[in-house]
Amino acid sequence: QGTRDHPPAHAALRDRLLAAVVACFKRHGAAAIDTPVLELRETLTGKYGEDAKLIYELQDQGGELLALRYDLTVPFARYLAMNKITNMKRYHVAKVYRRDNPATTRGRYREFYQCDFDIAGQFDPMIPDAECLKIVHEILSDLQLGDFLIKVNDRRILNGVFAVCGIPESKFITTCSTVDKLDKMPWEEVRSEMVGEKGLSPEAADHIGEYVQLHGGLDLIERLLQDPKLSQNKLAKEGLGDMKLLFEYLTLFGITGKISFDLSLARGLDYYTGVIFEAVLLQQENDHVEEPVSVGSVAGGGRYDGLVGMFDPKGRKVPCVGVSIGIERIFSILEQRVKASGEKVRTTETQVLVATPHKHLLAVRLKLISELWDAGIKAEMLYKKDPKLLKQLQYCEDMGIPLAAIVGEQELTDGVVKLRDVATREEVRMPFYTRFQKCFQNLEITESSG
Amino acid sequence: QGTRDHPPAHAALRDRLLAAVVACFKRHGAAAIDTPVLELRETLTGKYGEDAKLIYELQDQGGELLALRYDLTVPFARYLAMNKITNMKRYHVAKVYRRDNPATTRGRYREFYQCDFDIAGQFDPMIPDAECLKIVHEILSDLQLGDFLIKVNDRRILNGVFAVCGIPESKFITTCSTVDKLDKMPWEEVRSEMVGEKGLSPEAADHIGEYVQLHGGLDLIERLLQDPKLSQNKLAKEGLGDMKLLFEYLTLFGITGKISFDLSLARGLDYYTGVIFEAVLLQQENDHVEEPVSVGSVAGGGRYDGLVGMFDPKGRKVPCVGVSIGIERIFSILEQRVKASGEKVRTTETQVLVATPHKHLLAVRLKLISELWDAGIKAEMLYKKDPKLLKQLQYCEDMGIPLAAIVGEQELTDGVVKLRDVATREEVRMPFYTRFQKCFQNLEITESSG
């Protein structure tokens, strides 16, 4: 439950999707790494806050205490620290595991793919951060998912806001997780959670509300840099300065049209320390799908400068920024779209079916298909001694195989193969090359013994 | 322990290797499926005989009792039965898990890849079986691993041999597993295990010895078909008849030169019912590697007509034949070879580094690289505001990036990019297209604010 087999049509669509994402990661010069599905339990403890209860643990059968990885970020940080790597651009596409309540219609499973791209290293500010946003932009554009928006914020700006609103530092993280709900609840509800559950004063909550409902672009950044209170806060000033720089780089990339500086964006995870971002699709093409799917965010990420240090015995920090593409959610959208369009996803890549029109020609088919395979051509034949031609052509139609290479007595005599376009039924006779023809001269002997 | 991270050089080599294997599987018209890493414990019990103790079990945290998959064959059989599929050609490349004593020098790990190709369905005899052998032949040839031999046998022939040697049917499986050791021990030791541990009579053991030390080709098959005792055994006769047919098909495929009908081949697993095979490398190119690696078999498989029925409530059988490529062993050979040759495995595919020869040109680099990415070119730049040209060229050499696109003041004025071949140091000046040039005219403004 919450895991699933991927039948060929799934797997083929998923392969195409993953290929597009990986192509983008490679275009940006990332190297692949692979880490084990099994991690030591202690590596995962204390990294996911409340979500720790969702970690799958392995039975103690002697040896180390193990768990299934929960994401790809913590293993990456563990990998960097273990190998004392201070500088790396990597991608990782792999499955992660969560003992969650699966919401399969929204593309949430207990076993699912993550596609992560991360840049580790001490660099000049906002250059790698800008590249992560460019990557999100490229992937969502490439996949033609419709209109999208990338919300950007900075944990330092949020913390600055909390500080100038008089929130004690001990309540920053819990206030942050309440702000994070603004994409699912109206402000009134978020406000009452702040005052009720989190114990903020109504005035502080209202004050926060004035800030976190703001969103815009460079103009908003400039305005907040002039804000009499916020401009006095060191963290906020730093964050806003970097945000301005980020927008300049994004302008050079030509992608600010899809970027929104949004103070309500908080992101759930504790480990973010700077820029955070999240991409949402702006509308489903509802006229094309039967049931509209609410998919939420399709990509997210941010800067986490402290995580690697948690795994280093001396606490040495390696600044990191990364992005995770929500491939499962994107997959459910594409799947719905394919279903609605009635398009048939080809599950194989076979180019030609080797066929014979009458009996006693199995040897001819075996010989011909072997030549085709050796020439790198994707070819199939039916595993029957004497299949009917109709059955063979039917198989082509069922599997979407575009061509049939037909050889009968007449073709053997003439030294040709009849190449048939399955869709149009057009046929051309093509001579097959000498070596092949020569082989057929000796076929009688082999055939008679078959 | 026994699991490992795959750093970029590993991951890149592995990707190439897997790509070659998958290309072959696709060439033969297979569709991909994907099954969960987690299976119900009950699915795996009773399938692996003594090896069941090597299964990783998950802790009971409420919900179903789960285990990590041990191979890809049992999940495939479970998948076919669950979905009532009677006909399918699929490949699956994924990791499996075994609580084994890792022998990492021989390429044995607790987490490792399997690459399986299987044909399920009721077909005319030996046609799919021959294709599996063709696939092994193609892959081992493509990978240029040196000389190899594919040993072939049939469980029915082995059982026939046991029967005519007077072994009771109850001892077939245990005798089979002793015969299986002939590739690691001399006959004398195998014989004494038969007589000592397995309780066979010395005469019966000697009699078996006469058969299982035989190997050859069509001639041997013909001889055994004439064998006065064996030809009287129904199972052996069936097996030998099919073996003859198989050799005819393999002759048409032109691969009998690397095939040996070898009566000592037994294969460990219980579920095989017909043809079995195993590929071994005949020699390591020892002059090229520092330490010769003993790698054992690099591919194996066979026919298992009963496994799917074990998962079907009504016991309906789906005949299957499949092959598994020993990718980890092949990987250790390739890795040793790369290490010995001193060849540097590129971990990224970056085609060009965007570089600037002096200060205040970050905006130019960001603009140019963005254009390149959008044009689908794999490009990188250093994440520094003002990197030295030497550092940038050094990065190209370290990472094996073949080209540097250099833009300085002079190039900006002339509207060109200087394209430098990193290895030869040759440079050509190339005009960049109008849209790009236009962008640069406005760069002063942006640059000054950066």
The DSSP output letter for B343 is: P
Q: Tell how far CA B353 is from the center of its chain.
A: 34
Residues of B in contact with A4 (CB under 8 A): 36
| Minimal C-alpha gap between A440 and chain B (Å) | 10
* Mean pLDDT value of segment B190-209: 94
* Mean pLDDT value of segment B405-417: 91
Q: B57 and A59: CB-CB below 8 Å?
A: yes
| Minimal C-alpha gap between B349 and chain A (Å) | 6
Q: Which amino acid is at B197?
A: E
Q: Give dist(CA B287, CA A232) in Å, integer.
A: 70
pLDDT per residue over B26-62, tens digit each? 999 999 999 999 999 888 887 777 678 888 888 877 7
Cβ proximity of A365 and A354 under 8 Å: yes
pLDDT at A447: 38
> pTM score, two decimals?
0.86
Contact with chain B for residue A407, Cβ under 8 A: no
Contact with chain A for residue B129, Cβ under 8 A: no
Domain boundaries for CATH 3.40.50.800 within chain B: 352-444
Structurally, at CATH architecture level, domain A352-444 sits in 3-Layer(aba) Sandwich (3.40)
> How many interchain CB pairs under 8 A, A with B?
217
For A95, the 3-state DSSP assignment is strand
Contact with chain A for residue B378, Cβ under 8 A: yes
pLDDT at A292: 42
Residues of A in contact with B347 (CB under 8 A): 31-32
Alpha helices, H only, A119-259: 127-142, 155-164, 172-179, 187-195, 202-212, 218-226, 234-253
Residues of B in contact with A37 (CB under 8 A): 37, 68, 95, 97, 111
ipTM beyond cut 0.90: no
pLDDT at A194: 94
pLDDT per residue over B137-154, tens digit each? 999 999 998 899 999 999
Which segments in chain A show pLDDT lower than 70? 1-2, 50, 101-108, 283-295, 433-450
pLDDT at A448: 36
Contact with chain A for residue B436, Cβ under 8 A: no
Cβ proximity of B95 and A37 under 8 Å: yes
Closest CA to B6 of A321, A75, A25: A75
pLDDT at A221: 97
* Mean pLDDT value of segment B94-104: 79
pLDDT at B101: 67
Domain boundaries for CATH 3.30.930.10 within chain B: 8-341
Structurally, at CATH architecture level, domain B8-341 sits in 2-Layer Sandwich (3.30)
Cβ proximity of A217 and A260 under 8 Å: yes
pLDDT per residue over B348-395, tens digit each? 999 999 999 999 999 999 999 999 999 899 999 999 999 999 999 999
Contact with chain B for residue A130, Cβ under 8 A: yes
Contact with chain A for residue B197, Cβ under 8 A: no
Residues, chain A, total? 450
Q: Which residue has the tokens 């709900």?
A: A181
Q: Which two tokens stand for residue B129?
A: 């079986």
pLDDT band at B284; cut points 50, 70, 90: low
Distances (CA, A) of B10 to B18, B140, B338: 12, 20, 11
Q: Give dist(CA B408, CA B173) in Å, integer.
A: 76
pLDDT at B104: 57
Q: Give dist(CA B399, CA B382) in Å, integer.
A: 12
Q: SS3 letters for B55-84?
A: CCEECCCCCCCEEECCCCHHHHHHHHHHCC
Residues of A in contact with B31 (CB under 8 A): 8, 11-12, 347-348
pLDDT at B438: 52
Q: Which amino acid is at B5?
A: D
pLDDT per residue over B430-443, tens digit each? 887 544 545 445 44
Residues of A in contact with B27 (CB under 8 A): 373, 376-379
Phi-psi region of A272 (alpha: psi -120 to 50; beta: other; left: phi over 0): beta
In this predicted structure, which of B53-67, B122-136, B193-207 has the lowest mean pLDDT?
B53-67
Distances (CA, A) of A330 to A133, A326, A339: 17, 6, 14
pLDDT per residue over B223-278, tens digit each? 999 999 999 999 999 999 999 999 999 999 999 999 999 999 998 777 899 999 99
Q: Which of A3, A29, A37 sits opposite B111 (nearest CB)?
A: A37
Contact with chain B for residue A168, Cβ under 8 A: no
In which element (H, E) is residue A337 found?
helix A327-341
Residues, chain B, total? 450
Mean pLDDT taken over chain B: 89
Per 3-state DSSP, chain A is made up of helix, strand and coil in percentages (nearest 5) of: 45, 20, 35
Distances (CA, A) of B159 to A74, B180, B238, B396: 53, 13, 11, 62
